[in-house]
Structure 1
Amino acid sequence: MKKFYLGILIMSASTIQSQKFPALKAPIAEKQEHIREIHGDKVNDPYYWMIDYFKKGKDSTKVVDYLKAENTYWEGMMKDTEPFRDKLFQEMKARIKEKDESVPVFDNGYFYYTRTEAGKQYFKYCRKKGSLTAPEEILLDIDQLAEGHPYYNATGFSISPDNSKLVYGVDDVSRRQYTLFLKDLKTGKTTDLGIKNTEGSAEWANDNKTIFYTEKNPVTLLSEKIKKHTLGTDPGKDVTVYEEKDHTNYISVYKSKNQKFILIYSGATTSSETRYLNADDPNGTFKVFQPRMKNVLYSITPLEDKFLIRTNKDALNFKIAETPLDKTGVENWKDFIPHRNDVLMQSVSAFKNYLVFSERQNGLTQLVIYDRKTAKKEALTFDEPAYTISSLENPEYNTDNFRFGYTSMITPVSQFEQDLKTGKRTLLKQQEILGGYAKDEYTTERLSATAKDGTKIPISIVYKKGLKKDGNSPLLLYAYGSYGNSMDAAFSSTRLSLLNRGFAFAMAHIRGGQEMGRQWYEDGKMMKKKNTFTDFIDAGEYLVKEKYTSPKHLYAQGGSAGGLLMGAVANMSPNLWNGMISQVPFVDVVNTMLDESIPLTTNEYDEWGNPNNKEAYFYMKSYSPYENIEKKNYPNLLVTTGLHDSQVQYFEPAKWVSKLRDMKTDKNVLLLKTDMNYGHGGASGRFDYLKDISLVYAFMFKLEGIDK
Structure 2
Amino acid sequence: MKHTVLLLLAGGLAAGPLRAQRALPATPQRPVTDTYFGRQVVDNYRWLEDVNNPEVKAWFQAQADYTKQILDRIPGRDSLISTFQAYDRLLTVRYGEVKKRGNRYFYRKTLPSETVGRLFVREGKTGPERLLFDPTAYDKSTTYAMTAFTPSPNGQLIAIGLQEGGVELSTLRILTVATRALGAESIPAVFGGGIDWLPDGSGFLYTPNNSTDPQDPKGNLDTKARLHRLGQPVAADPDLWSRAKNPDMGIRPDQYPVMFFADDHTQVYGLLASVDRRADAWLADPADLAKPTIAWKRLSAPTDSVYDFRKLGSRLYLHSVKGAPKGRILVTDAANPNPATATVLLPEGEGNITRLLSTKDYLFVVLSDGINETVRQYDPRIQQWVQMPMPSTGTAGLEPYDAAHSNELFTYVSTWNRPETVYDYAPETRKMVLSPFDMKARYPGTDDLVVEELEVPGHDGTLVPLSLIYRKDLKKDGKAVCFMTGYGAYGISATPYFSRRMLALLNQGVVLAATHPRGGSEKGQAWYRAGYQTTKPNTWRDFIACGEYLVKNRYTSPRHLIGEGTSAGGILIGRAITERPDLFAAAISNVSCSNALRMENSPNGPVNAPEFGTVKDSVQCMGLYEMDAFQHVKPGTRYPAVLCVGGMNDPRVIVWQPGKFAAALQAASTSGRPVLLQVNYDNGHFTEDKQVTFRNFANMYAFALWQAGHPSFQPRTIAAK
TM-score scaled to structure 1, two decimals? 0.90
Q: Which residue of 1 aligns with 2:424?
A: 417
Q: Give the counterpart of 1:530 among 529, 537, 554.
A: 537
| Partner AA of 1:22 in structure 2 | R
| Partner AA of 2:18 in structure 1 | F
- Alpha carbons of structure 1 residues 676 and 155: separation in structure 2 relative to 1, 3 Å: closer
Q: CA deviation at 1:623?
A: 3.2
SS at match of 2:428: coil
Whether the aligned pair in 2 keeps the contact of 1:297 and 1:312 (CA below 8 Å) is yes
Aligned partners of 1:474 and 1:490: how far apart in 2? 21
Task: Work out whether 1:249 is the aligned partner of 2:247.
Answer: no
Q: CA deviation at 1:253?
A: 2.8
Q: CA deviation at 1:303?
A: 1.1
Aligned partners of 2:472 and 2:434: how far apart in 1? 27
Task: Work out whether 1:132 is the aligned partner of 2:126.
Answer: yes
Q: Give the counterpart of 1:647 among 641, 648, 652.
A: 652
Aligned partners of 1:676 and 1:116: how far apart in 2? 24
Whether the aligned pair in 2 keeps the contact of 1:319 and 1:345 (CA below 8 Å) is yes
Aligned partners of 2:260 and 2:225: how far apart in 1? 11
Q: Give the counterpart of 1:693 among 692, 697, 704.
A: 697
Q: Which residue of 2 aligns with 1:472?
A: 479
| Partner AA of 1:21 in structure 2 | L
Q: CA deviation at 1:46?
A: 2.1
Aligned partners of 1:383 and 1:177: how far apart in 2? 38
Q: Give the counterpart of 1:261 among 256, 267, 270.
A: 267
In the TM superposition, what whole-angstrom CA distance separates every residue of 1:310-364 from its partner, at most 9, and x where no partner exists? 2233333332222223322345522222334x33223222234432111223443
Q: How does 1:274-285 map to 2 (within 5 A)?
A: 274-279=281-286, 282-283=289-290, 285=294
Q: Which residue of 1 aligns with 2:19?
A: 22
Q: Give the counterpart of 1:369 among 369, 372, 377.
A: 377
Task: Work out whether 1:116 is the aligned partner of 2:110.
Answer: yes
In the TM superposition, what whole-angstrom CA distance separates every residue of 1:624-680 from its partner, at most 9, and x where no partner exists? 101111121101111111112111111111111111111222111111110123211
Q: Give the counterpart of 2:48 among 43, 47, 50.
A: 50
Q: Give the counterpart of 1:582 among 584, 589, 602.
A: 589
Aligned partners of 1:196 and 1:398: how far apart in 2? 31
| Partner AA of 2:628 in structure 1 | S
Q: Which residue of 1 aligns with 2:237?
A: 238
Q: Which residue of 2 aligns with 1:707?
A: 712
Q: How does 1:288-367 map to 2 (within 5 A)?
A: 288-290=297-299, 292-294=301-303, 296-330=305-339, 332-340=341-349, 342-367=350-375
Task: Work out whether 1:160 is the aligned partner of 2:145.
Answer: no
- Alpha carbons of structure 1 residues 19 and 176: separation in structure 2 relative to 1, 3 Å: same
Aligned partners of 1:406 and 1:146: how far apart in 2? 37
SS at match of 1:627: helix
What is the percentage of aligned positions where both structures have the same residue? Answer: 22
More displaced stretch, 634-643 vs 369-378: 369-378
Count residues with an aligned counterpart. Answer: 677
SS at match of 2:194: strand
Q: Which residue of 2 aligns with 1:539?
A: 546
Q: Give the counterpart of 2:608 among 601, 604, 610.
A: 604
Whether the aligned pair in 1 keeps the contact of 2:327 and 2:524 (CA below 8 Å) is no
- Alpha carbons of structure 1 residues 166 and 105: separation in structure 2 relative to 1, 3 Å: closer
Please give the root-mean-square deviation of Cα atoms over the aligned residues, in Å: 2.5
In the TM superposition, what whole-angstrom CA distance separates every residue of 1:417-445 from its partner, at most 9, and x where no partner exists? 233233322233654446x4353211111
| Partner AA of 1:448 in structure 2 | E
Aligned partners of 1:579 and 1:382: how far apart in 2? 39
Whether the aligned pair in 2 keeps the contact of 1:644 and 1:679 (CA below 8 Å) is yes
Aligned partners of 1:635 and 1:588: how far apart in 2? 19
In the TM superposition, what whole-angstrom CA distance separates every residue of 1:229-253 from its partner, at most 9, and x where no partner exists? 1111122121111114313434333
More displaced stretch, 17-26 vs 330-339: 17-26
Q: Which residue of 2 aligns with 1:100?
A: 93
SS at match of 2:417: coil
Aligned partners of 1:352 and 1:183: how far apart in 2? 27
Whether the aligned pair in 1 keeps the contact of 2:683 and 2:692 (CA below 8 Å) is no
Q: How does 1:177-188 map to 2 (within 5 A)?
A: 177-188=169-180
In the TM superposition, what whole-angstrom CA distance separates every residue of 1:288-318 from its partner, at most 9, and x where no partner exists? 2436253633532111121112223333333
Q: CA deviation at 1:174?
A: 3.2
Whether the aligned pair in 2 keeps the contact of 1:168 and 1:202 (CA below 8 Å) is no
More displaced stretch, 638-647 vs 304-313: 304-313
Whether the aligned pair in 2 keeps the contact of 1:657 and 1:670 (CA below 8 Å) is yes
Q: CA deviation at 1:498?
A: 0.8
Q: Which residue of 2 aligns with 1:667?
A: 672
Q: Which residue of 1 aligns with 2:70?
A: 77
More displaced stretch, 610-619 vs 697-706: 697-706
Consecutive unaligned residues in structure 1, runs of 5 or more: 1-16
Aligned partners of 2:304 and 2:335: how far apart in 1? 25
Task: Work out whether 1:207 is the aligned partner of 2:200.
Answer: yes
Q: Give the counterpart of 1:571 among 575, 578, 590.
A: 578
| Partner AA of 1:699 in structure 2 | F
In the TM superposition, what whole-angstrom CA distance separates every residue of 1:55-79 from its partner, at most 9, and x where no partner exists? x4xxx11111111111222223334
| Partner AA of 2:117 in structure 1 | F
More displaced stretch, 299-308 vs 581-590: 299-308
Aligned partners of 1:600 and 1:229: how far apart in 2? 26
- Alpha carbons of structure 1 residues 153 and 67: separation in structure 2 relative to 1, 3 Å: same
More displaced stretch, 582-591 vs 296-305: 296-305
SS at match of 2:344: strand
Q: Which residue of 1 aligns with 2:662?
A: 657
| Partner AA of 2:185 in structure 1 | L
- Alpha carbons of structure 1 residues 210 and 79: separation in structure 2 relative to 1, 3 Å: closer
Whether the aligned pair in 1 keeps the contact of 2:259 and 2:268 (CA below 8 Å) is yes
Q: CA deviation at 1:404?
A: 1.9
Q: Give the counterpart of 2:61 among 68, 73, 84.
A: 68
Whether the aligned pair in 2 keeps the contact of 1:409 and 1:489 (CA below 8 Å) is yes
Aligned partners of 2:389 and 2:553: how far apart in 1? 30
Whether the aligned pair in 2 keeps the contact of 1:205 and 1:279 (CA below 8 Å) is no
- Alpha carbons of structure 1 residues 644 and 264: separation in structure 2 relative to 1, 3 Å: same
Q: CA deviation at 1:484?
A: 0.5
Q: Give the counterpart of 1:489 among 484, 489, 496.
A: 496
Whether the aligned pair in 2 keeps the contact of 1:20 and 1:702 (CA below 8 Å) is no
Aligned partners of 2:42 and 2:271: how far apart in 1? 41
More displaced stretch, 270-279 vs 460-469: 270-279
- Alpha carbons of structure 1 residues 623 and 127: separation in structure 2 relative to 1, 3 Å: closer
Q: CA deviation at 1:380?
A: 4.2
Aligned partners of 2:459 and 2:649: how far apart in 1? 39
In the TM superposition, what whole-angstrom CA distance separates every residue of 1:143-191 from its partner, at most 9, and x where no partner exists? 31253324x2323312222322221222314332222211223343313
Consecutive unaligned residues in structure 2, runs of 5 or more: 1-13, 244-250, 714-721
More displaced stretch, 368-377 vs 205-214: 368-377
Q: CA deviation at 1:505?
A: 0.4
More displaced stretch, 274-283 vs 205-214: 274-283
SS at match of 1:71: helix
SS at match of 1:206: coil
Q: Which residue of 1 aligns with 2:185?
A: 193
Whether the aligned pair in 2 keeps the contact of 1:273 and 1:298 (CA below 8 Å) is no
SS at match of 1:673: strand
Q: CA deviation at 1:225?
A: 1.2
